[in-house]
Amino acid sequence: MDYREQARDPFFSKQTLGRIILFSLFIFFTAVFQSSFFGAAGVFPATPDMLLAAVMGIALFDGERSGSLCGMLAGVLANALGSPGTAFMPVFYMLAGFLTGIAIRSFLSRNLLSWLVYVLIGGVLRGSVTLMYVMITEKVYDTVLILTKVVLPEAVMTLIFSVPVYFLARLCARPFLKETDLE
């Protein structure tokens, strides 16, 4: 489907406002869960990036516009919660949402397996941001050490704990999708 052929809702329609409210609450509660549960637990080797999974889930089911807007919100929340690479996070999450929406429409279908592929790619890219942040701020230049202790555990934990986020994003997007979009 060509981008110009998509029907556009008026900005202040009930459906659009419902999307904004529901997706904003989803992003907010995901950020709260990520920072409170995973930040305080200390059981896991790294903190999974649940916000990345939520943004990519919204983009998967509602497209690149919603993904990029929710990505900006998630980036601001990540900054507020003290994420590494703070200045870059709104742009990173916005691009993740936008590119996921474009990729889903262009390459793979809307299913769990293709979404996991995109989350793995996003997790590795997010780990690269963490790698650059650690190298710049901590003046640690042992790339192998940073990759094995920070980047790879973060990407794997993001992949593992993002599976429930897929189903939550699908549940949030369900009222706004046609039945054929959910198959």
Residue 84 has pLDDT above 70, yes or no: no
Average pLDDT over residues 23-41: 82
Percent of the chain with pLDDT over 90: 11
Where are the domains positioned within the chain? Answer: 13-182
pLDDT for residue 27? 92
The pTM of this model reads: 0.81
Q: Among 9-13, 19-23, 56-60, 141-145, whose mean pLDDT is lowest?
A: 9-13
- Give per-residue pLDDT as tens, 106-149: 877 778 888 888 888 888 888 887 777 777 877 777 778 777 87
Band the pLDDT of 54: cuts 50, 70, 90: very high
CATH, domain range 13-182 = 1.10.1760.20
pLDDT for residue 180? 44
Residue 81 has pLDDT above 60, yes or no: yes
- Residue-by-residue DSSP string for the chain: --GGGS----TTSHHHHHHHHHHHHHHHHHHHHIIIIIHHH--SSS---HHHHHHHHHHHHH-HHHHHHHHHHHHHHHHHTT-SSTTTHHHHHHHHHHHHHHHHHHTS-SSHHHHHHHHHHHHHHHHHHHHHHHHHHS----HHHHIIIIIHHHHHHHHHHTHHHHHHHHHHHGGGS-GGGG-
